[in-house]
């Protein structure tokens, strides 16, 4: 994005707020604070990228992903690299799929609203109201441009200003299978423009180009990112964004309040003074920084309660070519299974149609199905004839699912994150139920064979919000229980994973936290 001519601040100047991270958690908050007249500086570990350099080439595209090594363990280790965090001004929104369902009210009351006799295993409630979060979600949808169907089958009061994007072939096949089985499905809400739009402080954004490669970065502005929405607004209001700036230290005064952050840029060390600090680095980098500095952890909850959405996929092979690399990859949704009537597990899942690029498909076959050699090549031959369906499924916190620090250090001299994750009985039950559902849909649509690919997605819960200081790291507003001028605005604060993808909810939480800071 364009940073020329932006306001800058001296390192010795005590700015009102430093924000670490420019993705879904940092950017909306940065814009809101700057627009209210605060002196704000955002520090981004990754570079400032020119959208013109984004490419459909899957080999080159990972430069927008956080590729610095993270160590992963457990019985079902989560995959990092292109599967998760972003790297650059815009954070994870540079590579996100822009799939933007809203959180279900039942997912925010997972513990008290559970019918299962699961005790502590029924998850945690959110210390905020669904209606309050939804009010901010509507603001985000209007700002970034979310397309979707009106009316919406699972929420009669919901409206979208943008009509839905065109369906691709995998969406058509999922719709056919759902129709034959009596499952409701509709066009998916997506942060994809259907018509050309003039974005304030950014400029023109083009209507849908039917690109299947949006996970590799998108050059036309069709997909909303914080780099073409909130960050230009923040800079216009006086915020400074410093790319290539990796924070590794936090300084405090005798009273324990944050006074400065220490970061590395271009091989040099810098120190920025501040009156308040917001961590918005995501579910891995935020707890990693807190563990490295030993801060905000009187509860012992920093790094604990790691959550990863169930994201099992089922792929069907059809007789005719599907060409699932064309069109918006996740153009159809079903929320009929957010609370399946025949299920005994806690929570549920939503369904989304899947298009896919070839290298991503190959990686999924290796990781999910364990294919290699001739068997992998044979499976790849079916790529053009394949359509998929995937889930976003609830995940419950477990004692041993956590993030700790390694003795090994990264290129910035910071201990690497070690994430241990093992799916519990509830997650396995959701995956099994979903795999059966998706297989039935694809077979009803005419698939002659199917393949189940287990996987997980997203990194959540490692600095969760709580009413009780002993049960979390921040309160419902995002303020640290321990340090009054330290805030967290990212998906590490999620008490439960939700069955909705986290991006939209996180942007809404960021605006809400900004308002609490301004109150």
Instruction: Render pLDDT for 305-317 as a digit per residue (tens, 0 to 9).
Output: 999 999 999 999 9
Q: 3-state class of 478 per DSSP? A: coil
* Closest listed residue to residue 434, CA positions, set 496, 504, 495, 499: 499
Note whether 414 and 264 are within 8 A (CB): no
* Closest listed residue to residue 460, CA positions, set 321, 340, 303: 303
pLDDT of residue 392: 98
pLDDT of residue 141: 98
User: φ and ψ at 420, to 5 degrees?
Assistant: -105, 125
pLDDT of residue 115: 55
* Closest listed residue to residue 358, CA positions, set 318, 311, 323: 323
pLDDT of residue 116: 46
Q: Exposed (0-12), middle (13-18) or buried (19+): which is 146, by Cβ within 10 Å?
A: buried
CA distance 361 to 372: 13
Beta bridge partners of 111: none
Structure tokens at 438: 């998706």
Report whether the peptide linkage leading into residue 151 is cis, meaning its omega lies within 30 degrees of zero: yes
Would you kindly state where each structural domain of the chain is located, as residue ranges?
Answer: 17-51+59-518
Question: What band does 190 get if pLDDT is binned at 50, 70 and 90?
Answer: very high
Model pLDDT for residues 395-417, shown as the tens digit of each residue: 999 989 999 999 999 999 999 99
Model pLDDT for residues 248-263, shown as the tens digit of each residue: 999 999 999 999 999 9
DSSP H stretches of helix in 349-484: 358-369, 373-381, 425-444
Q: Exposed (0-12), middle (13-18) or buried (19+): which is 9, by Cβ within 10 Å?
A: buried
Note whether 308 and 331 are within 8 A (CB): no
**Who has greater pLDDT, 57 or 421?**
421
pLDDT of residue 211: 78
Note whether 94 and 243 are within 8 A (CB): no
Tell me the three-class secondary structure of 51-87, residue by residue.
HHHCCCCCCCHHHHECCCCCEEECCCCCCCHHHCCEC
Question: 27-35 and 502-518 helices cross at what angle (nearest 10)?
Answer: 30
| Matching residue, tokens 């241990």 | 420
* Closest listed residue to residue 364, CA positions, set 348, 396, 399, 388: 388
Note whether 19 and 513 are within 8 A (CB): no
CA distance 49 to 244: 11
Q: What is the pTM (predicted TM-score) of this model? A: 0.96
CA distance 365 to 379: 8
pLDDT of residue 81: 81
**Who has greater pLDDT, 60 or 480?**
480
pLDDT exceeds cutoff 80 at 68:
yes
Model pLDDT for residues 333-377, shown as the tens digit of each residue: 999 999 999 988 999 999 999 998 899 999 999 999 999 999 999
Question: What band does 123 get if pLDDT is binned at 50, 70 and 90?
Answer: confident
pLDDT of residue 114: 67
Query: For residue 48, what is the enclosing H or E element?
Result: none
* Closest listed residue to residue 315, CA positions, set 383, 213, 371: 383
pLDDT of residue 180: 98
pLDDT exceeds cutoff 60 at 119:
no
User: pLDDT above 70 covers what percent of the chain?
Assistant: 98
> For residues 334-367, b (16+ Cβ closer than 10 Å) or e, as one string?
bbbbbbbeebebbbbbbbbbbbbbebbbbbbbee
Beta-sheet strand order (sheet of 277-279): 240-242, 40-43, 17-20, 277-279, 486-488
User: How would you classify residue 480: left for phi > 0, otherwise alpha for psi between -120 and 50, otherwise beta?
Assistant: beta
Question: What band does 121 get if pLDDT is binned at 50, 70 and 90?
Answer: low
**DSSP states of 307-367 as a string?**
EEEE--EEEEE-SS---TTSS-TT-EEE-TTSS-TT--SSS-EEEEEE---HHHHHHHHHH
State how beta strands 386-393 and 313-317 pair. antiparallel
CA distance 498 to 392: 8
Residue 415: half-sphere exposure toward Cβ, Cα within 13 Å = 18
**DSSP states of 161-207 as a string?**
SBPPPPP-HHHHHHHHHHHHHT---EEPPBSB-SS-EEETTTEEEPP
pLDDT exceeds cutoff 70 at 29:
yes
Question: What band does 120 get if pLDDT is binned at 50, 70 and 90?
Answer: very low
Angle at 26 between CA 218 and CA 409, to 5 degrees: 90
CATH topology of domain 17-51+59-518: FAD/NAD(P)-binding domain (3.50.50)
Model pLDDT for residues 76-108, shown as the tens digit of each residue: 999 998 777 899 999 999 999 999 999 999 999
pLDDT, the chain, mean: 95
User: pLDDT above 90 covers what percent of the chain?
Assistant: 88
DSSP H stretches of helix in 69-163: 130-144
For residue 225, count other CB atoms closer than 10 A to its CB.
32
CA distance 504 to 494: 13
Q: 3-state class of 40 per DSSP? A: strand
Note whether 20 and 280 are within 8 A (CB): yes
């Amino acid at each position: 994005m364009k940073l020329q001519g932006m306001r800058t601040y001296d390192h010795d100047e005590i700015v009102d707020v430093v924000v670490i991270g420019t993705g879904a958690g940092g950017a909306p908050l940065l814009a809101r604070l700057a627009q209210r007249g605060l002196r704000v500086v955002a520090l981004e570990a990754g570079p400032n990228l020119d959208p013109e350099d984004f490419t459909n080439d899957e080999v080159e595209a990972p430069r927008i992903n956080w590729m610095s090594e993270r160590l992963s363990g457990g019985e079902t280790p989560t995959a990092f690299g292109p599967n998760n965090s972003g790297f650059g001004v815009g954070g994870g929104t540079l590579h996100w799929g822009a799939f933007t369902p809203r959180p279900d009210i039942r997912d925010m009351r997972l513990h008290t609203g559970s019918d299962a006799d699961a005790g502590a295993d029924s998850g945690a409630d959110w210390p905020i109201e669904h209606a309050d979060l939804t009010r901010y979600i509507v603001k985000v949808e209007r700002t970034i441009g979310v397309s979707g169907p009106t009316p919406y089958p699972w929420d009669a009061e919901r409206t979208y200003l943008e009509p839905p994007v065109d369906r691709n072939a995998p969406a058509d096949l999922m719709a056919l299978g759902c129709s034959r089985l009596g499952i409701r499905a509709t066009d998916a809400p997506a942060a994809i423009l259907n018509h050309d739009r003039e974005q304030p402080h950014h400029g023109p954004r083009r209507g849908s180009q039917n690109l299947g490669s949006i996970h590799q970065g998108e050059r036309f502005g069709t997909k909303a990112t914080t780099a073409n929405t909130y960050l230009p607004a923040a800079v216009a209001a006086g915020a400074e964004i410093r790319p290539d700036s990796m924070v590794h230290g936090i300084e405090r005064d005798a009273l324990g309040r944050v006074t400065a952050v220490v970061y590395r840029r271009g091989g040099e060390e810098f120190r920025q003074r501040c009156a308040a600090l917001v961590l918005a680095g995501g579910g891995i980098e935020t707890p990693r920084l807190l563990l490295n500095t030993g801060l905000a952890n009187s509860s012992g909850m920093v790094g604990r309660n790691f959550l990863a959405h169930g994201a099992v996929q089922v792929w069907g092979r059809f007789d005719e070519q599907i060409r699932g690399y064309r069109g918006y990859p996740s153009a159809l949704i079903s929320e009929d299974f957010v609370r399946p009537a025949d299920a005994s597990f806690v929570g549920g899942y939503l369904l989304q149609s899947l298009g896919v690029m070839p290298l991503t498909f190959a990686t999924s076959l290796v990781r999910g199905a364990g294919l290699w050699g001739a068997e992998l090549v044979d499976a790849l031959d079916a790529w053009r004839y394949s359509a998929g369906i995937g889930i976003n499924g609830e995940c419950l916190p477990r004692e041993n699912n956590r993030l700790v620090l390694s003795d090994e250090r990264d290129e910035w001299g910071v201990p690497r994150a070690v994430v241990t994750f093992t799916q519990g009985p509830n997650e396995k039950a959701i995956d099994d139920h979903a795999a059966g559902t998706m297989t039935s849909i694809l077979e009803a649509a005419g698939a002659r064979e199917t393949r189940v690919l287990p996987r997980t997605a997203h990194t959540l819960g490692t600095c969760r919000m709580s009413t009780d200081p002993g049960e979390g790291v921040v309160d419902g507003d995002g303020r640290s229980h321990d340090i009054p001028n330290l805030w967290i605005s990212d998906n590490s604060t999620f008490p439960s994973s939700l069955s909705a993808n986290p991006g939209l909810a996180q942007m809404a939480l960021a605006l809400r936290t900004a308002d609490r800071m301004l109150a």
